Amino acid sequence: MKIVIQRVSEASVTIEREQVASIKSGLLILLGITDDDGNEDIKWLTNKAVNLRVFGDENNVMNKSIRDVDGDIIVVSQFTLHALTKKGNRPSYIKAAKPDIAIPLYESFVKQLEMDLGKPVQTGQFGADMKVSLLNDGPVTIIIDSKNKG
């Protein structure tokens, strides 16, 4: 399981010209799932996400977490995070989990994130053609792969 965390001043998700999620200061998390991901990956990544110190303190040093600043989160499923690009110019998505595996894990990730954060998390819609808009703050963008936790 892989996430891309972006610290944002604002972010939103639009599907078929209808805005389905919108936040001000917080995190936009792109989530990619593979067939061999499970609950351990979810718990480890959500814990990392809510405790990651990427927000400025009173000295403008990145020393505060999303919890500390009472920020909001949007989670967007993104199978392309697991693109294989070694051969040719067309990415292969064979490592990305199919919907029957990915959807329950995506939903579990969001629920666990809400429990860890202590408040609701907004989302895109799994499998939809989404338009994601963001104002990256910093910019701060961090990639975390649960397979690299060891």
- Angstrom CA distances, 12 to 23, 24, 66, 134, 137, stand at 6, 9, 17, 6, 14
Query: Is residue 55 flagged as an active site residue?
Result: no
**Active site annotation includes 125:** no
pLDDT, residue 149, reads 81
Domains of the chain: 2-148 (3.50.80.10)
> What is the pLDDT, as a whole number, of residue 137?
97
Q: Is 19 exposed, middle or buried (0-12, 13-18, 19+ CB in 10 A)?
A: exposed
Of 6, 34, 46, 78, the active-site residue reads 78
How far apart (Å, rounded) are the C-alpha atoms in residues 118 and 138? Answer: 25
Tokens (6 digits) for 6: 């972006």
pLDDT score at 54: 98
Residues 18-62: tens digit of each pLDDT: 999 999 999 999 999 999 999 999 999 999 999 999 999 999 999
122 is catalytic: no
The whole-model pTM stands at 0.96
Residue 103 DSSP SS3 = helix
Whole-angstrom distance, CA of residue 102 vs CA of residue 117: 22
pLDDT of 150 > 80? The answer is no
